[in-house]
Amino acid sequence: MGCCSCFGFIRKSKCRRMPILGFKLNLSQELLLEEEIEDDDGSYNDETTNSTSGDDSDVQNCGKRSEEILRLRSQHGMICRQFPVKETHKVVRSEDENGNKMVNEYVRECKIGAGSYGKVVLYRSCLDGKHYAIKAFHKSHLLKLHVAPSETAMSDVLREVLIMKMVDHPNIVNLIEAIDDPESDDFYMVLEYVEGKWVCAGSGPPGSLGEETARKYLRDIVSGLQYLHAHNIVHGDIKPDNLLVMQSGTLKIGDFSVSQVFEDDNDDLRRSPGTPVFTAPECCLGLTYHGKAADTWAVGVTLYCMVQGQYPFLGDTLQDTYDKIVNSSLIFPGDMNPQLKNLLEGLLCKDPTQRMTLDDVSEHTWVIGDDGPIPQYLCWCKRKSLKKEESDGTNIFT
């Protein structure tokens, strides 16, 4: 059941990266692992981007519904943050004493990512000395890219900002500031800099992490995703590339560019713009599906990748991959931990009505391990709700 005190949500481009799991792929397979191709020189093109499936009108209406829900909840103060995102409406470009480019108080250090929508650059604040990852966009470019007949990439980016202005969880990348100068063509999202990276190296097969590390990461994924689902948010693109690991070892979920938000528990979707190899069977059929169950499938694929160092279903072409997702059986090594095998079978159940839920996962023996149950995060909106119930003299949770 969703949290009654607050809310829910979007689409953005991705950089193409080389396969991260330590095994070789041909070019056609590589394209199944990412949504869009990296713009290596950081420039922008005028091509139309549309990685949707299903009816375009459904895509457009879903995007508008999400934006309307977000704006309405924002207007009514239904925000799950104790401290709001800073909003800046002035861009000042300058240089520091060493000739490094600056945007407001942020000093540019190096580019750390790029895509068709924009680029991600590492900056250092001259006020607090901390590093931040800043996503930079050209608004004129976003307005030229159509992701639906009457919807542009600009809508996607704005929805992503609206979502991140509302969410707050230790396992979700935090938006610090949004910079939008009406007199400038540039738009910036200032994000916390996750100084670590997704590292697929461990004690298992080449490319795998080993059970202990995989368990730790899975617990963080489940905690963050449970929070999102409780707020009626479907992430839509859970995969290793969107899971960032801090130097402390904490994992954070990022990239809300294809996420969607709902008013209640009805999470029906038709659009499936995520990454093909992480797509749930029901999404491959072009029918209406439940977003939360599809997220859970993607968690299962991610866990399989972490412990096996390869994808559970991968063909030579898009259609071949979808055929394998829908029809092929899971393959496990004979020496796999029986508890882990049971968990993967539950997560990667092809029938979404029989698939494990995140609550089931959090209570699974393999997930609990020696660490005990996953701690339940008491978000700010729930705290406010509990305080209100206490002041009203109504029952409160213990």
The conformation of residue 29, written as its DSSP 8-state character, comes to: H
Tokens of 112: 């750390």
Cα dihedral across residues 312, 222, 347, 3: positive or negative: negative
User: Could you tell me which residues are annotated as the binding site for ATP?
Assistant: 135
| Amino acid found at 25 | L
Number of C-alpha atoms within 13 angstroms, CB side, residue 376?
8
Residue 132 phi/psi, 5° resolution? -135, 145
Q: How far is CA 335 from CA 206, 207, 338, in A?
A: 16, 18, 8
41 in catalytic set: no
Cα end-to-end distance, the chain, whole Å: 18
> Which tokens hold the place of 104?
């407001």
Q: Is 141 exposed, middle or buried (0-12, 13-18, 19+ CB in 10 A)?
A: buried
Length of the chain: 398
Q: Residue 378's closest CA among 191, 192, 223? A: 223
Q: Looking at 39, 156, 180, 237, which residue is catalytic?
A: 237
The phi and psi torsions of 299 (rounded to 5 degrees) equal -65, -40
Joined tokens for residue 295? 């997220």
Pick from 325, 316, 275: nearest CA to 295: 275
Residues 90 and 181: beta-carbon distance below 8 Å: yes
Sign (positive/negative) of CA torsion 288, 160, 347, 373? negative
Q: How far is CA 35 from the centre of its chain?
A: 13
Q: Which two tokens stand for residue 243?
A: 């899971």
Residue list, annotated binding site:
135
Local structure of residue 241 (DSSP, 8 states) = G
3-state secondary structure at position 120: strand
Active centre residues (catalytic)? 237
